[in-house]
Structure 1
Amino acid sequence: MKKKRIRWSILLCLSMLAGQYTFAQTSPDIYSGGLKVKLNESGSKYFRLISWAQIQGIYSDNVAPSSSNVSLKLRRARVLMYSQITDRFLILTHFGLNSLSASNMSPTGSSAASQLFFHDVWGQYSLGKNHAIGGGLHYFNGISRLNNQSTLNMLTMDNNRQSWSTLGLTDQFARHLGIFGKGAIGKLQYRVAINDAVTNGLDARDADQLGLTVYGGKRLLGSKSTSFAYSGYFEYQILDKESNFLPFKVGTYLGAKKVFNIGAGFFVHPNGSVSMIDTLGTLKGQNVMLFSGDVFYETPVGDNGAALSLYGTYQLNDYGDDYLYSAYGTGSMLYGHVGYVIPGNIKGGRFQPYVSFAMNSYDAVSDTRNNIGVGVNAYMSGHNSKLTLEFMNATFGTTQTNTLTLQAMIYL
């Protein structure tokens, strides 16, 4: 009897592996995203697995003297799983690593960069057909579409860095620990959240001099600070309706949808920043307030596989008086990109050249941070298998960096 159970277990495992192989080999036209394992005959109870990797070869003309101009990077390696046994609730788990390179690896894989960590772990409960609430480590962010960007289907090689406007300051890699609500009212989609801000953020400076603003209110003010941050994003969808099932916003549909969305969002963190206001060392909290408006438009062009994709956003950033640290600063940001899918056979591969531009101005300095990107995506199987070549010119004051990157991405 025991041997019989073992044989049945082996057959079940082999069947699942065979099903996974068959599913992964389907064409992009009928590939529905990952391995879906049905837990009942109708498929209403299931779990789904998705895995992807992005590998980059990089040339940069602005590196440390001890470093090489050419490097390799495992930009992302991720596994995502979500499951439902009833449409009333869902659980999602997402783990992986980012930006592993020769400079941060270790001989035994024990460095922080080598370690897998959770990007998302949340549970969600439905409130009728169009609304839901949930909580955990989540990605239902505010501010803009790009602050909710999926890394599976970006039009540009990577997201505009300044659009992940709280990454590492109040969250863990753009994910907050908190509660969220999301849903749709007609053509209006919304997502709102209340989050507990991280204490040990990237900005670890002390507010130990007059005129210096530090994003460390929770750490430096203690009980005098408000630990919670509030965010929301609202989007009116004029043409085709986008899915709101998961929080990850699509970068380009390659003409599969005709989309015209107008969005607006916010992020507010009372006493999130802190500054010293006198020579006695008295600290005062400052409210962090970020607001954005954006537009996303994509449409097929003709019936030969061509498509046009446009995105633009303007964002006002107030991190506190004259705040400036790394990619973040009090001031404004203007960003846009445009891409065009060249006519071609969908199954035979297509090319999508694109350009992007970002301008960041800061109250603390007169210089602007400008990024200009020019690239092309080569789709061999839609987003499931693509190559991206991008040239990026980044200037900030007297510092200029030119980078040429080739990225290969596969997701199943």
Structure 2
Amino acid sequence: MNKKVLLASLLLTVGLTGIHTSNAQTNDFGNPKLIHYLNKEHTRYVSFSGYAELWARYTQLNPGSLINNESVGSVSDLSLRRIRAKMTYKPTENLYFVLQMGPTNVNVNSKNNTYMDLLDAYAEYSFSPKLAVGAGRSTWRGLSRFTTGPQATLLYDLPLYATSNTGITDMTVREMSAYIKGQLGRFDYRLVLADPYTATTADPALNVAKFSKNEARKDISGYFRYAFFDKENNETPFNAGTYLGKKKVLSVGGGFEYMHHALWHLDANKAIQNDDMKSVALDIFYDAPVNKEKGTSISAYAMAVHNDYGPNYIRFSGTNNPATGIVATSASLNGAGNALPTAGTGNTFYAQIGGTLPYFSRNNHNLQLQPAVSVQFADYNALKDNSAIYDAGISMLFHGNSSRLTFDAQNRPIYNSNAVSESLVTDHKWAFILKYRIDFN
């Protein structure tokens, strides 16, 4: 039997076992959680969880985009953005093991790449709430609140700046790493030492930094935050994008990421110069109820990050890109499909705000609307015009964050070079995404 199929079967067996052996906790659907306790004190357990995200979208494609061999200006498609199956095993009060699998970006372009990929496999030992150490393949990393990826996002997905190096130094936001973390009262910290992947094939260019072909140095990162009201759980690397007013949270954080000689470029004398990757970020997150009886709440997040990749580094990338190629003679700087400015040397600012509206019924607290908007602004050194990306959306919450339908409209800039090689915004394109997410736990 295929090893990946066998492993997925084992995970499913554990989950189904949990259904029949635990009624101590319930999920957003009011059902028993998929958890099997190993002792009477409920301090040791095996649990099963996961989620699936289905996208239906209409996308105005970047100039020159190809679908197979045809030049196409827009496309509508269905895709599975993420499918996750996770097993958590806690054999003792101090030891914790996580195994997670699942494919990402399953669309019409990925018929030969829909495997149940190994995502997370790491162990953690907790000496106390103040100190835990872990190692393996995981999303544990620093810099900012959302660098580790999505959990209960306010809009349809995380902004791409948050995981800006994905696919270059990591695999699906994962690296082999060791970390320490803990909570000292209201102060929460994590420090991570990772081995980045080396998947780049770029030669050094004149005065334009690119990720190097040389040996990858360690990826060092950290994130620190202070909770003014309710404390947040730091059991997993992920941070909530919204609590729907179930908590009152005001969290102020800061972080960094550093890789020595991660990039290179050619100077004026055509000599190779190595560039360090250096990033620092500050952010603030607020989520609180407005009227608990009506179910209204507010959620807001703001972030500022300074990235130094070396001279004129810029990256364009597209989430779940529907295009298969591009006609070089008619292409913009964005590249194929839905690619937009993701990261570069310079400053990026991001803000989002939203909140839940009153329950549809006083007797039924399941149905609820949550509108939200966001803006991402960046002044990249490689681009003459600043980048601005706008999102506006609304979610129908059927069962909290565990069953939600989100509609999002996104506007992105299109860049082209003028006669003196300045990168200017020459157009804007739209994307409309309808996402349904269901959690199982």
TM class by shorter chain equals: 0.7 to 0.9
2:258 to 268, 276, 282: 268
Letter in 1 for 2:432: L
2:275 to 286, 292, 312: 286
Contact residue 27 and residue 381 of structure 1 kept, 8 A: no
* CA positional deviation for 1:276: 2.1
1:19 aligns with: 19
Q: Does 1:343 align with 2:330?
A: no
Contact residue 149 and residue 250 of structure 1 kept, 8 A: no
Q: What whole-Å deviation, never above 9, does each CA across 1:240-288 have from its counterpart, x for those lacking one?
A: 0001111110110000000001000000111111112355x53221111
1:200 aligns with: 199
Contact residue 120 and residue 138 of structure 1 kept, 8 A: yes
Change (3 A) 1:255 1:393: same
Q: How does 1:102-141 map to 2 (within 5 A)?
A: 102-105=108-111, 111-112=112-113, 114-141=114-141
| Distance across 2 between alignment mates of 1:294 and 1:16 | 40
| Distance across 1 between alignment mates of 2:228 and 2:15 | 44
TM-score, L = length of structure 2 = 0.81
Contact residue 134 and residue 180 of structure 2 kept, 8 A: yes
Q: How does 1:4-403 map to 2 (within 5 A)?
A: 16=16, 19=19, 28=28, 34-62=33-61, 64=65, 66=70, 67=72, 69-105=75-111, 111-112=112-113, 114-151=114-151, 153-201=152-200, 204-207=201-204, 209-216=205-212, 219-220=213-214, 222=215, 227-277=217-267, 279=269, 282-303=271-292, 304-326=294-316, 327-344=342-359, 345=362, 347-396=365-414, 397-403=425-431
* CA positional deviation for 1:294: 0.3
Q: For structure 1, which runs of at least 5 residues remain unmatched after alignment?
A: 1-12, 106-110
SS in 1 for 2:283: strand
TM-score, L = length of structure 1 = 0.87
* CA positional deviation for 1:16: 4.7
Change (3 A) 1:70 1:20: farther
Q: What whole-Å deviation, never above 9, does each CA across 1:97-119 have from its counterpart, x for those lacking one?
A: 111111222xxxxx23x122122
| Distance across 2 between alignment mates of 1:20 and 1:52 | 20
| Distance across 2 between alignment mates of 1:192 and 1:149 | 17
| Distance across 1 between alignment mates of 2:409 and 2:261 | 39
| Distance across 2 between alignment mates of 1:267 and 1:166 | 11
CA RMSD of aligned residues (A): 2.4
| Distance across 1 between alignment mates of 2:403 and 2:20 | 17
Contact residue 240 and residue 259 of structure 1 kept, 8 A: yes
* CA positional deviation for 1:386: 0.7
* CA positional deviation for 1:45: 1.9
| Distance across 2 between alignment mates of 1:18 and 1:120 | 21
SS in 2 for 1:163: helix
Contact residue 259 and residue 297 of structure 1 kept, 8 A: yes
* CA positional deviation for 1:61: 2.0
SS in 1 for 2:247: coil
SS in 2 for 1:147: coil
| Distance across 1 between alignment mates of 2:253 and 2:18 | 43
* CA positional deviation for 1:210: 1.9
Letter in 1 for 2:203: D
Q: What whole-Å deviation, never above 9, does each CA across 1:321-353 have from its counterpart, x for those lacking one?
A: 111122221011010100110011562311000
Larger relative contact order (Cα-Cα within 8 Å, sequence gap ≥ 6)? 2
* CA positional deviation for 1:227: 1.3
| Distance across 1 between alignment mates of 2:278 and 2:394 | 35
SS in 2 for 1:86: coil
* CA positional deviation for 1:18: 8.6
Letter in 1 for 2:131: H
Q: What whole-Å deviation, never above 9, does each CA across 1:144-180 have from its counterpart, x for those lacking one?
A: 10113433x1111100101113322222221221110
SS in 1 for 2:156: coil
Letter in 2 for 1:330: T
SS in 1 for 2:102: strand
SS in 2 for 1:146: coil
Change (3 A) 1:54 1:29: closer
Q: For structure 2, which runs of at least 5 residues remain unmatched after alignment?
A: 1-12, 317-341, 415-424
Change (3 A) 1:169 1:350: same
SS in 1 for 2:91: strand
* CA positional deviation for 1:395: 1.1
Q: Does 1:405 align with 2:418?
A: no
Contact residue 231 and residue 266 of structure 1 kept, 8 A: yes
| Distance across 1 between alignment mates of 2:371 and 2:273 | 48
| Distance across 2 between alignment mates of 1:270 and 1:386 | 42
